[in-house]
Structure 1
């Protein structure tokens, strides 16, 4: 349904660990500077999703449900001074973190690649570096026992 008012939406994910409504990660077909901000503000004014207080916007080639990919791409694209912004508006009745019932702060994070001139960005955006799937398989075979030991540890 989000694609009706927002045709640029590719996919979105509401992680269970964030109680679904506290965070939405949304991938878009970015077409112009400020597009991620536009999407955040549109979400905060659309139906039940308006109660979402944290929105992370990523590029269309990022799977919003793959949190490792999301974190890798967002942290590599994010300048906190430029890409994190705040608003206020309706929040969920059950949200205990706000000073007032049903009203509080919202945070948007633009985790997309920056376009030339976007928000003062003056450099060329680097090519995406990917690993050969065969190398990934080799690493998994050689190190999986260590990775299993690390699961669940802080």
Structure 2
């Protein structure tokens, strides 16, 4: 069976049924969806589920601002969470909490970012990971944990490893001894001035 991971599911002792009869109306419409290597039709179903999860997650973790499970990560493979960070270690608290929350226990990778990062923009997320995460300090690896049955990479069926990445801005209380770097960001007044005088600069 071709599945939403993009791989055929290996033979396993799954429940089966034997069809002996089928009734249908004239000109029936058979409802189905095409699955396979992302992104295909089931991506839109997954996005609806993702949006439905957000208010439920916020009930348990009110610091969560937004939540994304990219279709290219077949949803269970990757979750990206933005938080309103208020204390040291909060990103790790959130990722561990999500791994203990219902079906999210099967999520393979979790990336936690600050609330200035758009979790639906992978370029923004990658920027946060590469500028705010340190490989030794900010990775959480959990071995021998529940995984999705369909995960083609786990060494054992239903059992594998998880990786969490704390891509939030670090505080001195979290071992960040350097001065917090200031974002290279143009203020609104300067942007307005440049827009207003753009033609004067002969850049069109």
Q: TM-score, normalised by structure 2?
A: 0.63
Partner residue of 2:184 out of 119, 126, 129 = 129
Residue 69 of structure 2 corresponds to: 14
Query: How far apart, in 2, do the equivalents of 1:100 and 1:65 lie?
Result: 31
Please give the root-mean-square deviation of Cα atoms over the aligned residues, in Å. Answer: 2.0
1:56-109 deviation digits (Å, cap 9, x = unpaired): 000011110011111112211111111112013111110121111111100000
1: CA distance, partners of 2:186 / 2:123: 14
CA distance in 2, matches of 1:21, 1:129: 35
CA shift for structure 1 position 131: 4.8
Write the mapping of 1:41-120 to structure 2, written as runs, cut at 5 A: 41-88=96-143, 89-118=145-174, 120=175
- Structure 1: unaligned runs, 5 residues or longer: 143-154
Map Cα deviations across residues 15-45 of structure 1 (whole Å, 9 max, x no partner).
1111111000100011111111111110110
Aligned pair count?
137
The aligned residue for residue 34 of structure 2 is none
1-side partners of 2:131 and 2:147: how far apart? 29
SS of residue in 2 equivalent to 1:3: helix
| Alpha-carbon distance between aligned partners in 2 of 1:71 and 1:97, rounded to the nearest angstrom | 22
Whole-angstrom distance in 2 between the partners of 1:98 and 1:68:
27
36, 55, 79: which one aligns with 2:91: 36
**Aligned-pair CA distance for 1:121:** 1.5
Structure 2, unpaired ranges of 5+: 1-55
Larger Rg: 2
Describe the SS at the equivalent of 1:122: coil
Question: Post-superposition, which runs of at least 4 consecutive aligned residues in structure 1 deviate over 3 A?
Answer: 131-135
CA-CA distance at 1:11 after TM superposition? 0.2
Aligned equivalents of 1:131, 1:25: Cα separation in 2 = 27
CA distance in 1, matches of 2:138, 2:172: 15
Q: Distance in 2 between matches of 1:36 and 1:3?
A: 14
